[in-house]
A and B are shown apart, each in its own frame.
Chain A
Amino acid sequence: MTVADTTIVGLSPSRLALARFRRDKVAVVALCVVVFFVLIAIFAPLLTSVFNLSPYALDRQALNDYGNPIGRFGGMSWNHPLGVEPGTGRDILGRLMYGARVSLLIGFIGTIVTTGVGLVLGMVSGLRRGLLDSVITRVADLTLAFPSLLLIIALNRPLTQRLESMGVPKGNFARMTYIILVLTVFGWVYMARLIRGQVLSLREREFVDAARSFGASNTHIVFKQLLPNLWAQVIVFATLSLPGYVAVEASLSFLGIGLMAPAASWGIMLGDSVKYYRADPTYLLIPGVTLMILVMAFNLMGDGLRDAVDPKSDRQQL
């Protein structure tokens, strides 16, 4: 114990975690990459108009008679730093920036919604136990056993139309809503299971009994005693599941579900580029590598966060 000063400030577990995170260089670099992508996504309209990189403008000048980009590496030039799309001549850097908006939007909204639903259902399940718990757990098992991808492809049209008839704006907005909907339906399970397990273990801890012995209400137990002990895991789990949603969005767009061209999305770009991979391999490489960098940055950041929150799960010791 250190010598008592006039004001002694204790280090809360979250502040200790923050200090540990700062010492993790890889995680800090990953965080910077993530922040960079987020800023690009937010300011994409501004950046594209300032640098004249419209993702929709067709630039026939940049294409030869066969529709292939003129110049090396997919037509890289000062006008089009990452080249142009074969066939249309749309600027790839501009489309990449707009694609980041879609990827991150779906990633963040998907994560927030699935985390919220999973957190609530997991806590209800762990706290109530009994019949309600059995029902939630069985539904979760069923969801995991479902061939989700087939279902997502099969339900794409009917459900999107259904959403549109229910008043969701037609077109890409309805398609994005559909993607977030299916991500939630199949994604809440993991968070719910994690939280249920945590709540089952926390509720037996004596500090919960102590709170009850003072006459604490269930609201107090949930918000003051249990949730502060769950936040760390919730944030780590959400950070680690976010890149998954980014990748799923890209895969679904690649498969033709989700956004439609001319809207820009990394998945659409990847799907489109496959047609030209012999003539223009850079077009395939650029969205692929960008997606990989973002997903990896999120994963490394999540790993760092997990190590910071729970120092016992040291990666080096595994």
Chain B
Amino acid sequence: MTPILEVRDVKKYFPSGSSRVLQRPTGQVKAVDGVSLSLQKGKTLGVVGESGCGKSTLARILMRLIEPSSGSIFLDGEDVTRLSGSDLRRMRRDIQIIFQDPYSSLNPRHSIGEIIATPLRIQKTVTKSEEVGRVKELMHLVGLNPEHFNRFPHEFSGGQRQRVGIARSLALNPKVIVADEPVSALDVSIQSQILNLMQDLQTKLQVAFVFIAHDLSVVRHIADDVAVMYLGKIVELGPANIVYGHPTHPYTKALMSAVPVANPVSGRKISRIVLTGDVPSPIDPPSGCRFRTRCWKAQDICASNEPELLDRGDGRVSACHFPELEA
């Protein structure tokens, strides 16, 4: 089965240093450095990692909100990085985004109805007379009162606003929705409502999610596959239960051990791994393995050779010279 979304070796280098006119940039921020992913129809791929590891940049590249420096993205078999003009506009119907901040992602001067109708108007998928009906249908679908379509964003709570954002992303019947930390700005009780809504919508509409988060338990709840990113690269990728059950990359292991246990007394006994130091600067990443500066297993080889993503035999790949394989 061909994947609905396939990302091949995508890189994004931002020029850094002086942005003044007539001065050349002095360096490059390697925000995303060779990421490859694939996503099947109706499935969810979770992308996790620390702040600044390139998750949001990846989301914006997938949306073609920023252009990748190199690499290709196949949406339903078509390379979207080569599209422009009307082809690009048509492609945009198939991939939509849910933003992190429900306060800045809705235009405060537009009513909810207008906000949800904006994609319909731009893409002209429905006639003017069908528009209100479609908007109300979408509002009903995400659990909003369709009678509220005349209201304005400031009259809604954070969770309701995020439902508006979800309704808007569904308006064009996309095949893939990129959710860029869709619940991290919400209360915990609201988070689960939104996550359940997204899962319901997935079963109903067979839409595939790229679910970006820094909260591991949220990803575990919703994702079929999970990709762990560190400093612009994927360090481990595989089915969620396998990666969560037995992480092979030291970074994944450290992340997993940082997840709080619901009941510390009776809960699983884990030794907590505390990473020291900060994430190195993506302008000047470490040689070899990027994680070696914070890794407790680092040897000389880690500094000289960059580990490749190797299949660990259980449908999961990881990039480490000393993986934690099961005995």
- Of B21, B63, B123, B150, which is within 8 A of A10 by CB? B150
Q: How far is the CA of A204 from the CA of B165 in the complex (A)?
A: 17
A-B pair number, CB within 8 angstroms: 86
Interface size on B, residues (CB 8 A): 37
Contact A11 to B97, CB < 8 A, known contacts A131-B21, A228-B109? no
Contact string against A for B residues 77-92, beta-carbon threshold 8 Å, 1 for contact and 0 otherwise:
0000000000011001
Out of B21, B108, B118, name the residue touching A130 (CB < 8 Å): B21
A197 contacts partner chain B, Cβ-Cβ < 8 Å: no
Is B122 touching A206 in the complex (CB atoms < 8 A)? no
With A210-B99, A211-B118 already in contact, the answer to whether A10 and B105 are too (CB < 8 A) is no
Is there a chain B Cβ closer than 8 Å to A281's Cβ? no
Contacts of A130 in B (CB 8 A): 21
Question: Which of B151-159, B279-287, B299-307 binds A?
Answer: B151-159
A228→B97 CA distance, assembly (Å) = 23
* A-contact bits for B162-175, CB 8 A (1 contact / 0 none): 00010010001000
Tell me whether A12 is interfacial, beta carbon within 8 Å: yes
Residue B148 at the A interface, CB < 8 A? yes
Contact with A along B48-76 (1 / 0, CB 8 A): 00000000000010010100000000000
Contacts of B115 in A (CB 8 A): 207
Q: How far is the CA of A4 from the CA of B89 in the complex (A)?
A: 38
Q: A11 — which chain B residues lie within 8 A by C-beta? A: 152, 155
Which residues of chain A have C-beta atoms less than 8 A from B92's C-beta?
Answer: 213-215
B272 within 8 A of A: no
Q: Which of A14, A131, A214, A215 has the most CB of B within 10 A?
A: A214
Cross-interface CB contact of A229 among B107, B147, B150, B172, cutoff 8 Å: B107
Q: Is the CB of A213 within 8 A of B96?
A: yes
**Does A13 belong to the interface (CB within 8 Å)?**
yes
Residues on the B chain within 8 Å of A225, using CB: 107
Which residues of A lie under 8 Å from residue B89 when comparing CB positions? 215
| Interface size band for A | 20 to 34
A210 with B152, Cβ < 8 A, contacts A10-B112, A13-B108, A229-B109 known: no
Q: Report yes or no: B155 in contact with A215, Cβ–Cβ below 8 A.
A: no
Out of A10, A211, A229, name the residue touching B151 (CB < 8 Å): A10
Q: How far is the CB of A180 from chain B (nearest CB, A)?
A: 32
Complex: how many Å from CA A45 to CA B109? 43
- State whether A216 touches B65 (Cβ < 8 A): no
- Tell me the A1-29 residues at the B interface (CB within 8 Å): 4-14
- Residue interface mask B99-118, A partner, CB < 8 A = 1: 11100111111111001001
- For the complex, what is the distance from the CA of A36 to the CA of B109, rounded to whole Å? 32
State whether A13 touches B152 (Cβ < 8 A): yes
| Among B60, B97, B122, contact of A220 (Cβ-Cβ < 8 Å) | B122
Say whether B65 contacts A213, CB under 8 Å: yes
B217 part of interface (Cβ distance < 8 Å):
no
Closest residue of chain B to A216 (Cβ to Cβ) is B122
What separation, in Å, do the CA atoms of A5 and B107 have in the docked complex? 25
Q: Please tell me if the beta carbons of A213 and B111 are within 8 angstroms of each other in the complex.
A: no
Q: Specify which chain A residues have a CB less than 8 angstroms from the CB of B88 in the assembled complex.
A: 215
Q: How far is B123's CA from A228's CA once the two chains are assembled, in angstroms?
A: 21
User: Is B239 an interface residue when CB atoms closer than 8 A count as contact?
Assistant: no
A interface residues with partner B (beta carbon < 8 Å): 4-14, 130-131, 134, 205-207, 209-216, 220, 224-225, 228-229
A-B contacts, 10 listed (Cβ < 8 Å): A4-B147, A8-B148, A8-B150, A10-B111, A10-B152, A206-B105, A215-B89, A224-B118, A225-B107, A228-B107
Q: Hey, which bits of chain B sit against chain A, CB under 8 A?
A: 21, 60, 63, 65, 88-89, 92, 96-97, 99-101, 104-112, 115, 118-119, 122-123, 145, 147-148, 150-152, 154-155, 165, 168, 172
